[in-house]
Chains A and B, each alone.
Chain A
Amino acid sequence: MGSIELVCPAGSPAMLRAAIEAGADSVYCGLRDDTNARNFPGLNFSPQELSDSVAWAHRHGARVLLAVNTFAQAGGSDRWRRSLDAAAASGADAVIVADLGVLAYAREAWPHLRLHLSVQAAAGSPEAIAFYAQAYGVKRVVLPRVLSVEEIAALMREIEVETEAFVFGGLCVMAEGRCALSSYAAGRSPNLCGVCSPPEAVSYSEEEDALVSRLAGFAMDRYAPGDPAGYPTLCKGRFEARGVLSYLFEDPVSLNAMSLLGGLKRAGVTAVKIEGRQRGKAYVARVAAAFRAAIDAIDRGESPDAYEHLLTDLAEGGRETTGAYRKRWR
Chain B
Amino acid sequence: MSGWRRRSKSDGRGRGERLAVTVLMTLRHPPERMLTAALRALGRRRPEVFERLGVANDVDLVVAPSDFPVAFRLRPGHGAGRVEVERHDAARPSAARITGPLATLIGLFDGACDADAAFFARRIRITGDTQAVVALHNTLEAAELTTADLLPLPDPLRRWTGALLSAGLARLRAREG
Contacts and interface: CB of A to CB of B under 8 A. Distances in A.
Pairing of A with B: yes
Interface of A: 11-15, 40-43, 198-200, 202-206, 211, 223, 225-231, 278-283, 286, 313-318
Interface in B84-142: 111-117, 119-122, 125-131, 133-139, 141-142
Contacts of A199: 130-131, 133-134
B99 to A, nearest CB: 10
A280 B114 contact: yes
Nearest to B126: A204
B56 A41 contact: yes
Contact of B121 (A225, A228, A282): A228
Contacts of B138: 11-12, 40-43, 278
Contact of A229 (B53, B122, B128): B122
Given A41-B135, A42-B135, A280-B111, A229 B120 contact: yes
Interface residues of B, number: 34
A199 B133 CA distance: 9
Contacts of B126: 204
B69 to A, nearest CB: 22
B143 to A, nearest CB: 8
28 contacts: A12-B142, A14-B111, A14-B143, A14-B144, A40-B134, A41-B55, A42-B54, A42-B134, A42-B135, A42-B141, A199-B133, A200-B131, A202-B130, A204-B125, A211-B122, A211-B125, A228-B122, A229-B120, A229-B122, A230-B120, A231-B116, A280-B111, A281-B141, A282-B114, A283-B114, A283-B116, A313-B117, A318-B120
Contacts of A206: 125, 127
A281 B146 CA distance: 14
Contacts of A198: 131
B18 interface: no
Contacts of B127: 203-206
A179 B142 CA distance: 30
Contacts of A286: 114
Contacts of A228: 120-122
